[in-house]
Chains A and B, each alone.
Chain A
Amino acid sequence: MHSAPALQTTSLNATHRAAGGKMIDFGGWDMPVQYTGIIDEHNTVRTAVGLFDVSHMGEIEVRGPQALDLVNWVSTNNAAKLQIGQAHYSGLLYEHGGFVDDILVHKVTGDHYFLCVNASNQDKDFAHIVEQNRFDCAVENAGPRLSQIAVQGPKALATLQKLTATELAPVKYYWFQDGEVAGTPARIARTGYTGEDGFEIYTANDEAPRIWKELMQAGEEFGVKPAGLGARNTLRLEAAMALYGHEIDATINPLEAGLSWIVKFEKDFLGKAKLEEAKAAGVKRKLAGFKMNGRGIGRDGYELHIDGAPAGWVTSGGPAPTLNLNIGLCYVPAAKAGAGQSIQVMVRNQPVDAEIIPTPFYKRAK
């Protein structure tokens, strides 16, 4: 296979290639899908610590006296509730209530918010926010100058602590600190997409390869491994975290996606009117988790049947290495979304028995 010349690369591309990463075209980015193997990397993150290059993710900086007003207008969660150094998960919606993207909002100061957005949506998100900017904010598409490394797993803190003077233990889940990692300025957030404890580090591109190398050295005693997008997907699926283009997209609203907890109707935001209508009318389809009972794996896009009739589709599905089950997320009629509901996943035109089960599929012991 040959890589198309137009693929975008992260600052860590040469690092991945030197380490034997298997590179794929991921939404136009040349990214490692795996190094040693998806299951091995998955298990390493569950039991020790793994490093992910997530520099393809986008970052958008919103600055100005009315930064909060712009952020709160374009996103569904209530950023007025954030304290400095705190972050939350939120949705960017179209006026019709469907998702532009799902994002993390970090409050840096009262007039500065830092958004982390999906790789393939970053240009769209930036244009969307700029278009909605009637608050005289400075909006910067910071993705091109920033790299992001996720250090994830029960040994993430011990690994990262060796490289930073910032005391990590007091940093609570979904809080962040600006400090230094390996002598380089970095934003250190206790966030992640794996269902494990861990940190996401934002830093300048030119220092990222050295930080990666130092993290690999710091984590050696804990068995650190680089992990690719394959493990990132199995980990987030076990944790039942949404992936744009699968669980959510422009045709799905947050109420359907089980994300009403990030929708704060007490404030105004783009898309609110349509969501209020949808809520009043009652949500017709809902995201639910399932496990396969019969032999077969439900995969992204497979049709679901209930009582012999089409009833929905699989948004993400595959093996869950930690659980030793084949699992997935799916849209089903709201009335059929309860745990224990029997469903059939159409696997190559054959119905295979499956069952709705509660999510998240995996929850780490605290």
Chain B
Amino acid sequence: MYPENFKYTKEHEWILVEGDTGTIGITDHAQHELGDIVYVDLPKPGTAVEQGKTLGSVESVKAVSDIYSPVTGEVVESNTELTSAPERLNSDPHGTAWLVKIKLSDPSQLEGLLSAADYKAYLGE
């Protein structure tokens, strides 16, 4: 369920780093807790983001939920397809429904994130 090559946060985001770029999304646990996702608000490319600060938000039928950036860096791409198909976050949160790609300014921040095993333990699974 939780890919081994991702890192995770306790706020239920994931990041997959390739080179100096990290792809960020929300975890399956997060989408399940939120329920039907109907709206996504993402930063534009060029936006500077900071680890632990709000990156954007997702909204389910019932609630608004902030997304926190797992790392500091600059947004290089956001997944605009989610704007018209936010429900994809429910069906494919670890794949096509990634949220943003960020150019990392401090790769050492990754060491403080959770491994798949840590995250599963954190969820109590």
Given A296-B39, A297-B38, A297-B39, are A38 and B57 also a contact pair (CB < 8 Å)?
no
Instruction: Verify if A37 is at the interface (C-beta below 8 Å from B).
Output: yes
Q: Say yes or no: B35 contacts A34, CB within 8 Å.
A: yes
What residue of chain B has the Cβ atom nearest to residue A230's Cβ? Answer: B62
What residue of chain A has the Cβ atom nearest to residue B40's Cβ? Answer: A295
Partner of B64, one of A37, A38, A299: A299
| B57 neighbours in A (Cβ, 8 Å) | 348
Q: Say yes or no: A38 contacts B61, CB within 8 Å.
A: yes
Partner of B35, one of A38, A297, A326: A38
Instruction: Verify if B77 is at the interface (C-beta below 8 Å from A).
Output: no
**Shortest Cβ distance from B60 into chain A, in angstroms?**
8
Instruction: Verify if A224 is at the interface (C-beta below 8 Å from B).
Output: no
* Residues in B36-88 with C-beta less than 8 Å from chain A: 36, 38-39, 41, 57, 59-62, 64, 83
* Residues in A30-76 with C-beta less than 8 Å from chain B: 33-34, 37-40
Q: Say yes or no: B36 contacts A33, CB within 8 Å.
A: no
Q: Say yes or no: B39 contacts A230, CB within 8 Å.
A: no
**Shortest Cβ distance from B39 into chain A, in angstroms?**
6
Label chain A's interface by main secondary structure: mixed
* Residues in B5-53 with C-beta less than 8 Å from chain A: 35-36, 38-39, 41
Q: Residues of B within 8 Å of A, CB-based: how many? A: 12
Partner of A230, one of B41, B59, B61: B61
Q: Say yes or no: B39 contacts A234, CB within 8 Å.
A: no
| A299 neighbours in B (Cβ, 8 Å) | 64
**Shortest Cβ distance from B44 into chain A, in angstroms?**
13
**Shortest Cβ distance from B110 into chain A, in angstroms?**
28
* Residues in A1-55 with C-beta less than 8 Å from chain B: 22, 33-34, 37-40
Q: Say yes or no: A38 contacts B39, CB within 8 Å.
A: no
| B38 neighbours in A (Cβ, 8 Å) | 297, 319
Interface centre among B41, B60, B62 (most CB of A within 10 A): B62
**Shortest Cβ distance from B48 into chain A, in angstroms?**
18
* Residues in A288-335 with C-beta less than 8 Å from chain B: 295-297, 299, 318-319, 321, 326
Q: Say yes or no: A318 contacts B62, CB within 8 Å.
A: yes
Q: Say yes or no: B62 contacts A33, CB within 8 Å.
A: yes
What residue of chain A has the Cβ atom nearest to residue B83's Cβ? Answer: A295
**Shortest Cβ distance from A296 into chain B, in angstroms?**
7
Q: Say yes or no: A230 contacts B35, CB within 8 Å.
A: yes
Per-position 1/0 for A178-211, Cβ under 8 A of B: 0000000000000000000000000000000000
Given A37-B35, A38-B36, A319-B38, are A234 and B61 also a contact pair (CB < 8 Å)?
yes
Q: Say yes or no: B61 contacts A39, CB within 8 Å.
A: yes
Q: Say yes or no: B62 contacts A297, CB within 8 Å.
A: no
Identify the B interface with A (CB < 8 A).
35-36, 38-39, 41, 57, 59-62, 64, 83
6 further interface pairs, Cβ-Cβ under 8 Å (given A37-B36, A230-B62): A38-B61, A39-B36, A40-B36, A297-B59, A318-B61, A319-B39
24 contacts between A and B (CB under 8 A): A22-B35, A33-B62, A34-B35, A37-B35, A38-B36, A38-B60, A38-B62, A39-B61, A40-B36, A230-B35, A230-B61, A233-B62, A234-B61, A295-B39, A296-B39, A296-B41, A297-B38, A297-B39, A299-B64, A318-B61, A319-B39, A319-B61, A326-B39, A348-B57
